Amino acid sequence: MTGALVGYARTSTVEQQAGLEAQVAELEAIGCAKVFQEHVSSVDAQRPQLRAALDWVRDGDTFIVTRPDRLARSVTDLLKIVEDLKARNVTVRIMSMGVDTSTATGMLILQVLGAVSQWERNVMLERQRAGIAKAKAEGRYRGRAPTARVQTPEVLRLKAEGRTVAQIAEAVGISRASVYRAFAESSP
């Protein structure tokens, strides 16, 4: 008897709805009996649907994602998740890479490609830091635009309606800290 195919789909923001729908469609097309999905940054420590998916899988199941960056932020994180699942006799399949951890070759490919992916990210971050340092030295660096601050009027409108901080954060798509910041900055 083979286990169930369990999928996990994630996008970083609500604005990426089409990307999430495409991942879910791919996972359902290959026969996933259950697909967990969420809009949350992989940097965020709280990925409740990932936690639920990892808790859901059982001995003999196959846990499937479309791409490795949907599952983990770093090679270390990815390999930890894979090892935890492997210890529970759950196979991991990454569709974009053709990786299946039920084989020794699949594990090797995952580790090599994961290392290359981590290296690419580190090189990109080095270039980004160098570019920022150069822009600062030339007086051209302004930093990231304050995205949550432009939503202050909507935050205040929802507060006036009596919504809770959690409800406002969810409705506007910002963190609770940003909601509190909007309150503080709008106070006389």
Positions marked active-site: 12
List of E strands, the chain: 5-11, 34-39, 62-65, 91-94, 99-100
Residue 140 neighbours by CB distance under 10 Å: 8
Helix H or strand E segment including 167: helix 165-172
Return the closest-CA partner of residue 24 out of 59, 60, 53.
Answer: 53
Which tokens in the block code for residue 150? 């432009």
Q: What are phi and psi of 11, to 5 degrees?
A: -125, 160
How long, in residues, is the chain? 188
